[in-house]
Structure formats: C-alpha cells, structure tokens
Structure 1
Amino acid sequence: MKSTGIVRQVDELGRIVIPIELRRVLGMDVGEPVEIFIDDQANRLMFRKYQSGCLFCDSMESISYFKGRQVCGSCLRDMVSQPDLDSMAILESAAALESDDQPEQGSSIGGKKGDNALRRLAEVMETYPNATQGEWARKLGFSQGYVSQLIRKLDKKA
C-alpha cells in the first residue's frame, strides 16, 4: 500500500473529503458508488470505485479478472475471436492505470513514464485521427487536460 501523506479531518456527520488528486487517480466522479472494506488485522479502512459487473456489458455471468478489472466470459471470447480496438484500448488503459503508467497529477510529463504516455497517445492519435481530445483521453484512461499537455509536448518534439 502506498502512503499519500494526505490527512483529512472527520466532520461532525462522520464524513471525510476525498482529495481531487486521489479521485482522479481512481477515476471517481461525483455520484459514483464506492465499495468500502475493513482490514481488522491491520486496523485499516479501504475503499475503491465500485464495479458491479463486466467492464464492457455489466453482465454478472462468469466474471474473470484481467489486470484488476472484471470482464465476463462472453466479452473475453469476443475480444479473442474478433478484437475490437475500442475494447482493447479500454483494457490497455485499465492495465496502465493499475501499473501506475500515468504520472501523478502535477508531475512533469518527461521521464520514462511520460515518454510511455506520449508513445501511447501517438498510437491512439494515429489509429483514430478524426477523434477529439476527449475521445483520445477516454481511450487512454487519461484526463482531457493531461492529453492536451501531452499533445503540446508532441508538438514541441516535432
């Protein structure tokens, strides 16, 4: 487990504000459900974004885990037999987020992780040349602002 160094106070109603930086990293939007866990042995409270079923179709049948994401058997078979670029991009983005591929908010774009993000953005831009920045961001699992920063970096390199 990674320590963030962020401390928050519990208010009089028992609420804790989750900082925007953490919500961005976890991909949490306003109104989304959160799953809460208690680790009695370590005396810890943990939470994550709630996912009820398959990443693609929300099915609950024959769920498997691929790099920490739930995918049903039917969608897995479809991807193997007839790869869908949008589905593959979603899985690649999920895998990248699991491996901390995207730099933390506020960090520089340079370095090994930033270069990997630049490479991935260039590939998506080449595959989907008529897509908007928002569509590229969704395919990569990045924020639109981060994609904009990456595009400026690519323009400087050109």
Structure 2
Amino acid sequence: MTGTVLVTYGTTNGSTAQIATAVADVLREHGLTAETRPARSVESVRSYDAVVAGAGLYAGRWHKDARRFLRRHRRDLAQRPLWLFSSGPLDPSASERDVPPVPGVQKAMARLDARGHVTFGGRLEEGAGGWVARMLLRNGKGGDFRDFTAVGTWAARVADELTRV
C-alpha cells in the first residue's frame, strides 16, 4: 500500500489524541503516510486507503465523537482496512492482559469487518473536565496507565499488514 492512513480519535481530555499521534508516528516510521484528525472533524474517508479509529472509554462506551464517526462513514469504512483501539482502563489491566472491546465496539467490528482491536490503558489527571472525572480523581482513581511501548508494538503490526505485498 502506498496511500494514506487516517488515524482518527474521540477524546475528552486529550489522552486518546496522544495515543493516536503515537500510532501515526509509528506508521510513518514504517514508510506510510499517516494523518491524525479528531473524529468530529472528518468529513469523508474516501481519500484514505486505510483507517485506524480510536476512542476513550467512558462508562463502558466509546467517546460519542468516535461512535458518530463510525456510523457516519460506515459504508466507506467497510470498503477499506480498518483497525480500532480503545483507551480507558484506569488501572494496569490493559498492560497485564488482553482487554476485549466493549459491546458497542464489538458490534461495530463485525459490521465493518475491522481487522483488529486493542485496548490501551487510559489517563486521568488533575484538571480533567467533567463531573465523573472529578469524582474519580477525588476517589483516587486517577493516573496515567498508558503503555506507549504497547502502542508502538500494535501500530507496527498494523503497518506490517498494510505494507505486506
């Protein structure tokens, strides 16, 4: 593949955007052209040869911008290679074991014939927006549980699939 990969994301406090940027960086290191954009700003995916879409998990659901992205572009997404990632567990579980996609993402994977999914740890730090985030922080549930080595390993596997002849 010599075309462009869209790496898009839904996020509230920026943690998932940083993961998406790391994924795009690895794709570029493997010789691919990758563009990172917030899901709500993507008007069309037709100019992309493949898509990686990710979202932060909130109360067991993907961020609304990413859910809307999948719905809005479902026909075009079903016609190109697609990978999904989630970020969210505020504990080390995502680094310790394979965390399956939440039910809504499982359905989207089947409907869109996605090639894969991974769940990465999330980040919640002081200053995060939203009352739920503030409540979690008050209860000591904050921290940064993202594993950028795991992000890089997964993104390299995506790149390998895309560049395989």
So what's the TM-score if we normalise by structure 1? 0.25
Greater relative contact order, per chain length (Cα 8 Å cut-off, separation 6+): 2
TM-score (norm 2): 0.25
Larger radius of gyration: 1
